[in-house]
Structure 1
């Protein structure tokens, strides 16, 4: 009888440990654009695939759960130009039914409960320049996560999400904060300076951010406490690693 009681206690302890591990699993939200028109050019845009895949696989490999949302939910548009550049993660993504499903059935941002996440990452591509600024759900989710001691992050054009995020005290999140974001030089090299609604670098500075210019198309990540930003696609993996380190208290 005593052995049966001890065995039952051991099983209960194992189950409790399992629940604790599940409860402690970190959770990150990656937000994609729903905008697919490149201004009035007749061309298509969307999110830049490596700015999803590089962070996503870093998070997953670190044991972090990842949800993928978009402004409108449903199919998030991929900028097809991404496939013209070699990237080892392209093939992985195309054969990953789980991540593919997350993109095709992305969660509508309005349905996101911010309290479930310890970090949010706004992915880039030209699309965010149209539907990230002034979005009420971006403001709601970002301010809630940040004020709950979580992390707000963005990569490349995804930094457009940060422009008007306002905290509960009325201050802008980026005011007097160092930010790495897509530069005017990089925009000009794409030939899109006169196509996008505004120049991201200029708008961030206008809103009080300290824009930290790195070399064009080279890795540049800036950690400003719990605001973590990356300049361009080359910065996506390092950005995720910085988020992981911050989540782990490193």
Structure 2
């Protein structure tokens, strides 16, 4: 789960030198650039391969539709990876700041959970139940960077879905003492790995078939994005 304090907006000014120093630290961290580079190559290879196969007359129309869906998925994953990486870099260096706007948190959370249900149906996760939890009023208005917050929650949800083959995923949102808390709980496996990726300054990423590099990188970038937004992270076993 992660928490973001939301009261009066405090503007932060950062010098160019300090920003460049932070950028250098970010991109030279072990596994950050290596992980992004590895995942970009993986997705680009997938796009090229399926683009070639889709023009091969040996395959049926159903198979070609599957190839097309794979291409779209790879494109979406590339876009998400780049958005997470560049957003984090911009916030950490001070070249950009949070896009704080009055946001209906209740509506934002409802939209997120609705999108998650659609995604689960599309991907055929029939053995996983999505449970929505919140204590929000009918309309809660707060200053929040809605786009970045949605991306973080989506990254945590995708990671939970990747590790839950059957059981449940709980997506929740609470507001108390000027603090908005979003959380994702699941009955899946790989708690220790997810905990390491979210809490460690130098997490280990192994580029192998047994580890989903895309999910791992998005967890690391989600962590950096939360910290850049001055949020807090907690990881707890069920």
Is the shorter-chain TM-score for this pair beyond 0.5, marking a shared fold? no
Report TM bin, short chain: under 0.3
Query: Normalising by structure 2, what TM-score?
Result: 0.25
If asked which structure has higher relative contact order (CA below 8 Å, sep 6+), I would say 2
Higher helix share: 2
